[in-house]
Amino acid sequence: MNHTLPDSLMSQLSEMIAARTALHFPRERWGDLEYKAGNAAKEFGFIGNEQFVQWLLSAPLTASQMDMLASHLTIHETYFWREPLAFEALCGEILPAMVREREKGDKRLRIWSAGCATGEEPYSIAIALKRAIPDLADWNITILATDINPRILRKAMAGIYSKWSFRNAPQWLTDGYFHSKKDGVFEILSEIKKMVTFSYLNLAEDIYPSPVNNTNAMDIIFCRNVLMYFAPERARQVGKDLYRSLVDSGWLMVGASELSQALFPQFAPVHFPGVIAYRKDHTMSPLPKILPYETPTLFQFSGDDKTPVTAIELPPQSKFVPVMEQPVQAIALEIPGKIEKEALPSKAFSIRALADKGRLTEALAVCEKALASDKLNPGMHYLRAIILQEMNRLTEAGASLKRTLYIDQNFLLAHFTLGTMALRQGNARLAKKHFENALALLEKNRPEDILPESEGLTAGRLKEIILVTIETGALA
């Protein structure tokens, strides 16, 4: 598709979009970009494309304006049970192994669908869990579904789909997990819908892993057919961040066209029949390996491969440990008693490191001992609340957040977290109240200010996240 706007203008537009959304529009796709920009121009009230593009480049866009633009740029094409062999690997190998490992201990499972579009993928994951774990009600399950487009998040939250969303899905899926409506659409069962939490997140700009947006300590991350639209350098950075968002031995599932040793050098590729998944292995060197042959970026499978599941042999553990990784890796093996002797700031770092590795019981124990020696530390009460929230002990988490605000009524993240908890529990009115309190406090900060206890989140970014959360309609 050819473009008509000047090359200089298209180049600036492409760079701006890549910076704000990570979406990659190289020169050969400028015609497609101009077409999408033309559709957006109409909604923004512009008649001509060139005038619209010049306006886009003239001043920073608000969060709602950027979201409106993103809704025209992102790909919404998805369907239920997409790439069935990936779900066969999930249900037949990955989940059963996790269940066996945890069924007598911490029955906790955290999954993230990054770039969830209209929700078919996270709902498919919820259905897979329902089928694979007989005692699912006894488990603490988190399925986080995020996307940059608030409009399609609203559609995902509704859980209503046309027949087109089931074009390659097995019949049992619609028969067992959906209500058929009179107008030819299907509504997902409420018990499945309740398993998924939808949230706005920009993979290009937001900070993750972070307990603030619930992206830490994930067991499995689905990020399929998302990074293929990113610039290579941005895709590699997202791969690094997703790696850090996983617990040790966690899994990353990507699309077949995204399989690449260059994009995911930190991971160990594991072969299943007809599909390859990536596994986080802390014994691997973070440096890219020199392979005896070039790994292709696109794998094709016949779909009838019956080879037993095997993992490729891992290289010996590297002695190289980057300086910034040494504290976290050491803490992962620390005895909590040694952590207790640390100063509070260092202790908070240690607690977060334990929590990020999924060692919540240990993290909570250290946190509570820290509070025993400093009962009026609002940051430690907030950290305790975050850990309790991940353990699904929401009543206790809420009490800790209220204690945080009793000590420091201006503790902004406590208001925000109370809002997200209320939203999770279906209390839209209370959620809106807490979000409004957070917005009022944000007005006292400059947009570039880093918020305490946020691990790098700026006041401006949190304001955008809250406004988008309200605009999704979840608080209506």
Euclidean distance between CA atoms 244 and 280, whole angstroms: 9
Q: Of the given ranges (280-289, 362-371, 429-438), which has the lowest mean pLDDT?
A: 280-289
Comparing 96-105, 129-138, 166-175, 327-336, which segment has the lowest mean pLDDT? 327-336
pLDDT score, position 426: 83
**Hey, what are 45's tokens?**
């009230």
The full DSSP string for 273-301 is TTEEEEEE-TTS-SSPP--SSPPPS----
Q: What is the pLDDT of residue 132?
A: 93
Confidence of residue 84 (pLDDT cuts 50, 70, 90): very high
Q: How buried is residue 463: exposed, middle or buried, by Cβ count under 10 Å (0-12/13-18/19+)?
A: middle
Dihedral Cα 66, 68, 70, 76, nearest 10 deg: 160
Asked if pLDDT for residue 114 goes beyond 70, the answer is yes
Q: Is the pLDDT of residue 358 over 90?
A: no
pLDDT confidence of residue 294: 37
266's tokens? 């930190």
Question: Is the pLDDT confidence value at 472 over 80?
Answer: no
pLDDT of residue 405: 96
Cα angle vertex 165, ends 162, 168, to 5°?
135
Average pLDDT rounded to a whole number, residues 65-77: 80
Sorted by sequence, the CB contacts under 8 Å of residue 52 that are 6+ apart come out as 37, 38, 40, 41, 44, 46
Domains and CATH numbers, the chain: 7-73 (no CATH), 84-280 (3.40.50.150), 349-472 (1.25.40.10)
Distance of alpha carbon 370 from alpha carbon 142, whole angstroms: 28
Is the pLDDT score of 317 beyond 60? no
Q: Locate tokens 């329902």: which residue? A: 130
d(CA 226, CA 268): 20
pLDDT of residue 101: 92
Q: Which residues contact 311 (CB under 8 A, 6 or more apart)?
A: 268, 270, 271, 279
Taking alpha carbons only, the member of 251, 231, 230, 233 closest to residue 242 is 251
- The pLDDT score that the predictor gives to residue 205 is 80
- Segment 416-438 shows an average pLDDT of 92
> What's the whole-number mean pLDDT along residues 411-421?
94
pLDDT digits (tens, 9 = 90+) for 228-280: 888 888 899 999 999 999 999 999 999 988 888 888 999 999 999 999 999 99
Q: Judge whether residue 170 has pLDDT over 60.
A: yes
Contacts of 322 (CB under 8 A, 6+ apart): 286
Q: What is the pLDDT of residue 470?
A: 83
Task: Read off the pLDDT of each residue in 427-453 and give the average, rounded to a whole number.
Answer: 92
- Report how far apart, in Å, the C-alpha atoms of 400 and of each of 62, 417, 423, 470 are: 34, 11, 18, 25
Judged against a pLDDT cut of 50, whether residue 143 lies above it is answered with yes
**pLDDT, tens digit, for every residue of 196-240?**
999 999 898 888 999 889 999 999 999 999 998 888 888 999 999
Cis status of the peptide bond prior to 209, with omega within 30 of 0: yes
Lowest mean pLDDT across 20-24, 268-272, 403-407, 471-475: 471-475
Strand order across the 267-272 sheet: 196-200, 140-147, 108-114, 218-222, 246-253, 275-280, 267-272, 310-311
Confidence category of residue 407, pLDDT binned at 50, 70, 90: very high
Top-confidence residue, 290 or 131? 131
- What are the pLDDT digits (tens) for 363-392? 999 999 999 999 999 999 999 999 999 998
Length of the chain: 476
Phi, psi of 271 (to 5 degrees): -90, 125
Residue 209's CB: how many other CB atoms inside 10 A?
21
For helices 49-58 and 30-44, angle between their N-to-C axes, nearest 10 degrees: 80
pLDDT of 286:
47
Give the C-alpha separation, 156 to 138, whole Å: 26
% of the chain exceeding 90 in pLDDT: 55
Average pLDDT (173-177) is 96
pTM of the model: 0.81
Q: Distance between alpha carbon 322 and the CA centroid of its chain, in Å?
A: 25
Q: What is the DSSP string of 422-466?
A: HHHTT-HHHHHHHHHHHHHHHTTS-TTPBPTTSSS-BHHHHHHHH
Q: Is the pLDDT of residue 119 over 60?
A: yes
The pairing of beta strand 108-114 with beta strand 178-180: unpaired
Given a cut of 90, whether residue 68 has pLDDT beyond it is no
- Token pair of 40 as six digits: 């957006």
First to last CA, the chain: 41
State percent of the chain over pLDDT 70. 86
pLDDT tens figures, 289-310: 333 333 333 333 333 433 333 3
pLDDT at residue 281, as a whole number: 84
| Closest to 107 measured CA to CA, from 368, 356, 361 | 361
Q: What tokens does 470 get?
A: 């309200």
Per-residue pLDDT at 475: 56
Do residues 378 and 407 make contact, with C-beta atoms less than 8 angstroms apart? yes
State how far Cα 138 lies from the chain centre: 24
Query: 348: number of CA atoms within 13 Å, CB side?
Result: 17
